[in-house]
Amino acid sequence: MAQKLNLIIDQGTTFVTIFNVNDDAGNAMDLSGYDGRAQIRKHYTSSTSTSFTVVVANSGTVSLEMSSNTTTALTAGRYVYDVELIDGAGAVSRVVEGIVTVTPEVTR
- Within the chain, which residues score under 70 in pLDDT? none
The backbone torsions φ and ψ at residue 97, rounded to the nearest 5 degrees and listed phi first, read -155, 160
- Hey, how many other C-beta atoms are within 10 angstroms of the C-beta on 45? 6
CATH topology of domain 3-103: Immunoglobulin-like (2.60.40)
User: Residue ranges per domain, the chain?
Assistant: 3-103
Strand order of the sheet with strand 15-20? 15-20, 61-66, 53-56
> Are 56 and 34 in contact, with CB atoms under 8 Å apart?
yes
Give the pLDDT of residue 58: 87
pTM, two decimals, is: 0.92
